Amino acid sequence: MVVCFVRPALNWLKPLREVLTDGQNGQTFDTRFNKPAKDGDKYTDEGVYTITATNNYTKQTTTKVLYVGDNPVLKAYVTSNLTLSVPEINEMINNGASVNKNGDIVYRHTLRNILLIIAGVAVILTIALLIVKIFKNKKSNSAQLYNH
């Protein structure tokens, strides 16, 4: 829940609420409202709130992004400071990550993930051994040419 306290020094406090909607091009943000706040306004509806406050005296502007709700993808989106997109977060979750209660993305070391890592290391070692073998063969062939 977000509660707005508008004081005389804050001439303008403007919350913008966006929700995630399914569209033709995947999930996108839809703006549900974008209006000045009044003292005591409460925002309890799920969404990503971008709150912009402007100081009446200094004209400085401060912006804060908050999430209200229990959607782990949106929680991670806001926690990442909007550096990760919703599709990126969904892909991480599909690849074994989870979102903790703070909104941090956490990877679990599942047996499947460990086996994939081991398989990858095995492929790299096999390639390295083949390269060494090729160079040894070339070296011995070169030495035989000089001996004749």
Q: What is the pLDDT of residues 6-44, one digit of tens each?
A: 555 545 778 888 888 887 777 888 888 888 887 778 888
Instruction: Please give the Cα distance from 88 to 105 (Å, whole number).
Output: 11
- Residues whose CB is less than 8 angstroms from the CB of residue 65 and which lie 6 or more positions away in sequence, other chains included: 48, 49, 50, 51, 78, 81, 82
The string of pLDDT tens digits covering residues 126-146 is 999 999 888 887 766 665 555
- The first and second tokens of residue 3, run together, are 């509660």
- How many angstroms separate the Cα of 49 from the Cα of each of 6, 20, 44, 57, 79? 16, 12, 10, 25, 13
